[in-house]
Amino acid sequence: MDIIFEQARLPGGWARNVRFTVEAGCIAAITPDADPAGCTRAAGAAIPAITNLHSHAFQRAMAGLAEQSRAGVDDFWAWRGAMYGFLRKLTPDDVEAIAAMLYVELLEQGYGGIVEFHYLHNDPDGRPYADPAEMAHAIRRAAATSGIGLTLAPVLYTSSGFGGKPALDGQKRFLMDPDAFLRLLDDTGAEALAFHSLRAVTPEQMARVLEQVSPDIPIHIHVSEQTGEVDECIAATGRRPVEWLLDQGLLTPRWTLVHATHMTDAEAEGAARAGATVALCPSTEGNLGDGFFNAPAFLGAGGSFGIGSDSHVSTSPVEELRWFEYGRRLQARKRTLGAGGGEHVGAWLWLAAAAAATRPTGRSAGLLAVGAAADFVVLDTDHPALTGRDGDLILDSLVFSGQGSVREVWAGGERRVQNGRHIAREAVARAYRKTIERLKA
Ligand SMILES: [Zn+2]
């Protein structure tokens, strides 16, 4: 199939009347200044879609339910208690309905792919389902309904704290031993794997898994989100979490560090030099009061970052990028810090976050180049925020003021969003409403 975009942001810059030949969901050829005859033609400006690097889909349905101010301590750990209460009733059908709605929303906002950090494995009593992959299948069905490019990352979760501390009652739906986990990876054809965190998996369990899996599989882990977790890690190992991963020689380009909020300069530089990607989730990190990422040290050492929406209080990549950038500015008390040297900051943020997708997903994505997934966002250049903008000013205007300017989104070479709405939105929203009514009852 051939598609022509009025203009497109290629890795080297903008080009006009760009024809993309798509084969098996990937870009097979790119021809600028092409003849539109015989092609699907899309008005507007095409940019690479972003892969959302971190998601717990079921949490979308509880966004907004933990925002009443409470007496006493309301912190990450209190929020986690509310989340455990919420997930008690969820069935595989509920998870499928919630995930499908979420993925539709994410596509509408400009995400083309998702890494699902999937840890809700067991039934409400903590027993494996007859098919232990039942929940993972629900996630796959939701992704297929929406058309989003899924990287399934099943999660190993065995304990509630360092040293293999026994799990809490609220965690029983997550638990799985390493051998069952290895079977789950096989049975689900997982594209990636995840260790929940250093507090939820022991070093021996990590080693057991890593010696059995393909040396190429991407690995995701929550790390250093909370100062409490850093303190516990120091007490247990004498090292901070990222420092420990570095000391063990574990970090390589196949690792994605989720949050990595509390890193010293040495940890940030070490992670960057090891080639690990950081998955920042600024809207969730802000919502949970986690803290702010050590951007100067990590970016200064050439570190690669992408974005995720984690708890899904936001479904917009623009909001994640803006939160990240404004956090940096508030810390530095300066504007337009860029990555060093006169770039368009909005363009840099969008394109860097998009291009970070390849290592965490194990598939080429996030840039409009031959061999990459055919994931396009087509912007409405008549939107008030984008009218009259040319070149990378389009991306600057999108990131800093252009919410609502996404006209089309294509994932894997299929147009899933037209005129700002997902083509399956109505049916998916109906199923979602039913699930929410059931959960409220
Ligand atoms: Zn998370």
Residues by chain with Cβ below 5 Å of ion ligand 1: 310
Angstrom distance (rounded) from CA 63 to CA 66:
7
Angstrom distance (rounded) from CA 177 to CA 46:
45
Confidence of residue 340 (pLDDT cuts 50, 70, 90): low
- pLDDT > 90? residue 383: yes
Looking at the structure, give the CATH architecture of the domain made up of residues 50-367: Alpha-Beta Barrel (3.20)
Q: How far is the CA of 398 from the centre of ligand 1 (A)?
A: 26
Q: Which residues are catalytic?
A: 259, 310
- pLDDT > 60? residue 245: yes
194-207 confidence digits (pLDDT tens): 999 999 999 999 99
- pLDDT > 80? residue 337: no
Q: How far is the CA of 45 from the centre of ligand 1 (A)?
A: 32
Question: What are the DSSP calls for 157-199, one per residue?
Answer: ---SBTTTBPPPGGGTTT---HHHHHHHHHHHT-S-EEE--TT
Q: Residue 435's pLDDT is what?
A: 95
- pLDDT > 90? residue 408: yes
Please say whether the beta carbons of 98 and 433 come within 8 A: no
Mean pLDDT, range 29-36, rounded to an integer: 94
Mean pLDDT of the chain: 94
The Cα angle at residue 117 between residues 217 and 170, in degrees rounded to 5: 135
Q: 3-class SS at 304?
A: strand
Q: How far is the CA of 222 from the centre of ligand 1 (A)?
A: 6
Q: How far is the CA of 346 from the centre of ligand 1 (A)?
A: 25
Mean pLDDT, range 299-320, rounded to an integer: 96
Q: Residue 67's pLDDT is what?
A: 78
Q: How far is the CA of 59 from the centre of ligand 1 (A)?
A: 10
55-108 confidence digits (pLDDT tens): 999 999 988 887 777 666 667 777 787 777 788 889 999 999 999 999 999 999
